[in-house]
Amino acid sequence: MYYSINNNYIFHKMNKHAILFETIVKGNTKELIRASELRRKIMHGLNFKNNMYDECVEYLDLLNDFMKPNTMSKKPVLFVWNNKSSSCWQFEKLHILSLLSHWAHDKAVSLEPSEAKHYFASSVGYEMESLKCLNNYLWKDTDIAIMPIVQDRYHIARALIYASDYYFNMYSFKECLPPIKKSFQLLEIASRIWKKIDYGNLKEREALLYRQMALKLEDDKSGEKVALLSKAKELFTNEEIVKDYEMWKQQNDSVYYQVEETSQTISLISLEDSFQCLLNIVTPN
């Protein structure tokens, strides 16, 4: 099962008034009107929980053009998200990037594994871009500064969660040890970076990892296979785990008579190595 991050704080109490960029910024009138239309569509989509990924991609491109240093303003703008307001354009960009990562992930989950890879990678990339955006967000009001979206750790955790699903997608395409191990490790370290997210899938990923560790062993290590599968079954049960456990339990009890124990443990990933994983995803060879 793929991950689902609750984004209700972004969706909550959306501001109803439209922002008309053509009255705020000096520039190409058609592009400014198009940006106003796109933002209005995105807000409408949020209220009805529709996936507005394509509109958001186009809007971000225009937003980046408006945020260039040589852009002239006609009057101040006020962006409102989650009942919090700011005149800073970085505040707007951060929310758009978070929506893009969320909607890219949703699109990926709806696709076959072979088609989903690009969108999982994109969801990671948008969170990485959010970290760059925060580096440019030099001054924040007190009520803004406590929001999760302006915390580095929040975006790092989200990037790691989406990266975990990137590797889980690889595992879904072809079940084997390396991708499920990486998926578990990234989700585990995310759970230690930002606590205020439900990490309910963590035990499932750990169980699937134990199963793959068991399946990798030679048949003459049936006692250790049973021990690993027993750990998996205690964490999470599905048809494959139960089937493998019962088969090897029967094999060991009737043929091998080995002690059901294992010294194998799951190694965890360092923060430095987890960042390298993120970079590998967003900048593939």
Residues 19 and 136 in one domain: yes
Residue 164 included in any domain: no
Residue 173's contacts (CB-CB under 8 Å, 6 or more residues apart) are 113, 114
Mean pLDDT of all residues in 149-161: 97
> Of 150, 165, 191, which residue constitutes the final position of a domain?
150
Residue 226 included in any domain: yes
Whole domain around residue 114: which residue ranges? 8-150
Residues 188 and 103 in one domain: no
Does residue 170 contact residue 121 with C-beta atoms inside 8 Å? no
**Is the pLDDT score of 281 beyond 70?**
yes
Mean pLDDT of all residues in 115-131: 98
In whole angstroms, what is the distance from residue 195 CA to residue 214 CA?
30
Burial class (CB in 10 A: 0-12, 13-18, 19+), 43: middle
Residues 237 and 138 in one domain: no
Residue 58 included in any domain: yes
Residues 91 and 197 in one domain: no
pLDDT at 5: 73
Residues 107 and 229 in one domain: no
- Tally Cβ neighbours within 10 Å of residue 131: 15
Residues 98 and 12 in one domain: yes
Residues 18 and 85 in one domain: yes
Give percent of the chain above pLDDT 90.
89
pLDDT at 139: 79
Residue 28 included in any domain: yes
- Tally Cβ neighbours within 10 Å of residue 11: 15
> Of 116, 150, 184, which residue constitutes the final position of a domain?
150
Residues 129 and 12 in one domain: yes
pLDDT at 143: 87
Mean pLDDT of all residues in 82-91: 92
Residues 180 and 86 in one domain: no
Give percent of the chain above pLDDT 70.
95
Residues 29 and 69 in one domain: yes
What is the average pLDDT score of the chain? 94
Question: How far is C-alpha 42 from the geometric centre of its chain's CA atoms?
Answer: 20
Confidence at 14, pLDDT banded by 50, 70, 90: low
Confidence at 285, pLDDT banded by 50, 70, 90: low
In whole angstroms, what is the distance from residue 153 CA to residue 62 CA?
28
pLDDT at 11: 52
pLDDT at 141: 83
**Is the pLDDT score of 10 beyond 90?**
no
Burial class (CB in 10 A: 0-12, 13-18, 19+), 21: buried
Residue 150's contacts (CB-CB under 8 Å, 6 or more residues apart) are 94, 134, 137, 140, 144
